[in-house]
Amino acid sequence: MLRVSKLTDYATAVMTCLASAGDGVTSAQALAERARLELPTVSKLLKQLAQAGLVASTRGINGGYRLARAPERITIADIVTAMEGPIGMTECSAHAGLCDHEPHCGVRVNWQRINQAIANALANVTLADMLHVPRQRASIPVRVAVT
């Protein structure tokens, strides 16, 4: 149903917790409790987020994670990409050359444009935005133009 995976969903929740936690490091354990998720699951996705460079980790006792950048500079698109790979609605728009139909597929270029629109929509919402419950109207002006 055109959805992101649960892991990605959890990842946004955990990242939001991290953003609200401030500057110090927070352990995976503490994040799991705050997000009400299982520790192994949280560990797994934090590892992925760390590899993608969205969070920085500190090992050892009193270790934990913190955001690698300011919440204003981390977007939903970053998180989705970290968890699921490149954003592409169709196989051929994410990776060229895999589809037999490419030579006679007039639809492909248009899908790429749609992808772009969606990627822009995701890139226009930052972690900082997620911290706020939206105001009545127009608090996050997402403006996407396919050009």
Partner DNA sequence: GATAAATAGTACTATTTCAGTCCTGATTTG
Partner DNA sequence: CAAATCAGGACTGAAATAGTACTATTTATC
Which residues here bind its own copies, judged by CB under 8 A?
1-4, 6, 9, 12-13, 16, 35-36, 76, 80, 84-91, 94, 100-101, 104-107, 109-111, 113-114, 117-118, 121-122, 124-125, 129-131, 133-134, 137-138, 140-147
Residue 59 touches which of its own copies, DNA, none (CB < 5 to 8 A by kind)?
DNA
Binding DNA (rule: CB under 7 A), the pick from 38, 69, 117, 144 is 38
Q: Which residues pair with 55 in a beta bridge?
A: 67
What is the four-CA torsion angle of 26, 132, 5, 98, rounded to 10 degrees?
-110
Residues with Cβ within 8 Å of residue 79, at least 6 apart in sequence: 8, 11, 12, 15, 49, 54
Q: At what angle do helices 76-84 and 108-123 cross, to 10 degrees?
A: 120
Residues near DNA, by CB under 7 A: 1, 5-7, 10, 27-29, 38, 40-41, 43-44, 46-47, 50-51, 57-65, 84
